Structure formats: C-alpha cells, structure tokens
Amino acid sequence: MSKKGKLTPSKIFLIAVTLFLVLCFILFFIVRHNTIAVLSPQGQIAQSEMNLMKFAALLSLLVIVPVFGLLFYIIFTFRESKKSKKYSPEYSNVLLELIWWAIPLGIISVLSVVTWNRTHKLDPFKPLSSNQTPVRIQAVAMNWKWLFIYPDYGIATVNQLTIPVNHPIDFSITSEGAMNSLWIPQLGGQIYAMAGMNTQLHLIASKPGIYRGGSANISGMGFAGMHFDVSAVDTQSFSQWANSMTSQPQALTKYTLRQLSQPSENVQPFAFGTVENGLFDTIVNQYLPFQQDPDNSKTNTMNGMNMLSMGGM
C-alpha cells in the first residue's frame, strides 16, 4: 500500500469520531421520532421500565465515555509519527489503579441495587393500585393467533384487543399448545404463555390510541403473523364496544374452541358474542389426567376409576 493511502493513527481517530457522531445522530433521530415502540411508553408500567433503562444507560456512560476518551487520547498521543512523547510501557501507579477499578465497581453496585428494587416493584404478577375498576382478560396463545376472553362481559375476540384507558388490565395467560409470549411494548414487558400454566400480567394504558401487540417467542411457521392491535379507548367507549360485541352471532364453546385451535396463519380479527363458562380453566387443565378430551371427561373419569379398582384387586 502506498504511503498516501496508508491508514495512519490520525486517520483512524478521525474515522472513529465520525462513526461515533453518526451513531449518536441515528440514536437521537430514533428517540426523537419514537420509531421504536419500546421507546414510546404509553402506560405506567412501560414508563417505569423506560425510566429504568434511561438510568442504566446514563450510569453506564460514566464508564463508557472516559474509556473511549482514553482510547482516542492514546491513539492520538502515541501515534507512530509523534516521537516527542515518552513511551513507558512498564509504568505503574497504585492510585490510578484504585480509581479505575473503584469507579466501575461503584457504578455496578449502584446499578444492581436500583435494578433489583425497580424490577421487584415491576413484578408482572403484582396487581396495580388504582381507583378504577380492573378489567379481567384471559389470553390464550394458539397456532398462530391470540384468543382474548372477557369473562366479566361474556365475550371473546381473536387477534384484537380493546381496553379502557386508566383501568388496570389483569391478564391471565396460557397457551393451547406451543410456548409463546404476550408482549405489548408500549404498555409494558412480556410474559410467557405456557400450556398447563396460568401466568399473570398487569398493565395499564394512560393514553387513548392503537398499540401493537404480539408474541415475543418464535413458535413456528406462522409466528410472523401472530400480532394484534390494542385499542385503548375511554371508559364509555369501552362499555359501548363490549355491549355491541354481544350481538355477534358466533359462540365460543368447547366445540368451536377445538376448531379454532387448528393451526392457521394470518387470521383476520373477529369476535364471539357469547362464551361458555369455565372455558379458560378447561384450556389450562387440558393436559391434566382424564382431561385430554373435555367432551368425554365423564367417560375418562369412569375409565380411570375402573383402572384404579383393577389395580386394587
């Protein structure tokens, strides 16, 4: 390589600074225009998580900025073309050693204590305190769609979710088969949906709007279409919507649930006007003994009793 085209330390330094400034501009543009959902919180939980991320990022800069500053200083000061600077590779200073070990240790200690306390306060199983009535929603992950049951209203929806603003939303979450993860980035963190288990998630929307939800856990070929819109509306609009859903002709029963559980991709949103009582518990308990076929539970129980009788003979 010719001397003209050689990458000198000065050129490397200039390139590094340019890339750093470009990265800062891109990050500023993303945050300024809220092009990433998780950076645009619209609820109490999401805002608390955002504040924790900001705190961790700013605290980390106390280490990152000096380290990169020293890196650029060393590159510029000890470059090959500069001969005047004394080079002392064996130099040692106990005080400096203590400083650059004590600062990261202190930052990690502060960050760990704050993160521990904040994350326990943001426990997804912990109900939210509010003077508004909570809305219960039972979410079921299927291949590859979401079923939302409103037990207090006797309705259910597929791939669409409507919630009232400023009301705590108490999710009970399970899966009909493969493991999934319910996530509405602008309202809060994700929680896993697992077959035979009932996990909890408590969220709240502070502003009306339409937010995107989906699965944060890859579950098969139709996973890419496993998303839904969350419509956050005022209390009166939510009540009107819930009442209007009761006029839907379709009913969610054990039979229609079996049809709905068949794998399907890119399912368009629709609703059920009535829901059979205890259906969510049936889904959660479907893998318990004698519960594999809800329609034949009595027969299965009798067969089980006969087997126990034979075993005692």
> pLDDT by residue (tens digit) across 207-230?
999 999 999 999 888 898 899 999
**Residue 281 belongs to some domain of the structure:** yes
Residues 143 and 270 in one domain: yes
Across the chain, what does the average pLDDT equal? 84
For residue 159, what is the domain's CATH number? 2.60.40.420
Residues 188 and 116 in one domain: no
With a cut of 50, say whether residue 307 has pLDDT above it: no
Give the lowest-confidence range in 4-13, 218-227, 259-268, 299-308.
Answer: 299-308
Residues 103 and 194 in one domain: no
Residues 251 and 189 in one domain: yes
With a cut of 60, say whether residue 1 has pLDDT above it: no
**Residue 303 belongs to some domain of the structure:** no
Residues 13 and 39 in one domain: yes
Residue 9 near residue 79 (C-beta atoms within 8 A): yes
With a cut of 50, say whether residue 290 has pLDDT above it: yes
* Total number of domains in the chain: 2
- CA-closest candidate to residue 201, choices 215, 187, 218: 187
Strand segments, DSSP code E, in 176-263 are 180-183, 191-193, 199-203, 209-215, 227-233, 251-252
pLDDT digits (tens, 9 = 90+) for 37-53: 877 899 999 999 999 99
Confidence of residue 84 (pLDDT cuts 50, 70, 90): low
Burial of 13 (0-12, 13-18, 19+ CB in 10 A): middle
- CA-closest candidate to residue 168, choices 44, 42, 49: 44
What does the pLDDT read at residue 33? 61
d(CA 162, CA 164): 7
**Residue 299 belongs to some domain of the structure:** no
d(CA 297, CA 288): 11
Residues 173 and 287 in one domain: yes
Q: Three-state SS for 40?
A: coil
The domain of 259 spans 135-291
Residues 150 and 267 in one domain: yes
With a cut of 80, say whether residue 274 has pLDDT above it: yes
Residues 189 and 62 in one domain: no
* DSSP string for residues in 150-175: ETTTTEEEESEEEEETTS-EEEEEEE
Helix (H) / strand (E) containing 164: strand 160-164
Residues 111 and 72 in one domain: yes
**Residue 208 belongs to some domain of the structure:** yes
How many CB atoms within 10 Å of residue 116? 10
**Residue 308 belongs to some domain of the structure:** no
Residues 20 and 48 in one domain: yes
**Residue 88 belongs to some domain of the structure:** no
Residues 227 and 158 in one domain: yes
Confidence of residue 312 (pLDDT cuts 50, 70, 90): very low
pLDDT digits (tens, 9 = 90+) for 129-161: 889 999 999 999 999 999 999 999 999 999 999
Select the more confidently predicted residue: 262 or 15: 262
* Amino acid identity at 99: I
**Residue 219 belongs to some domain of the structure:** yes
pTM of the model: 0.78
Residues 14 and 55 in one domain: yes
d(CA 212, CA 160): 10
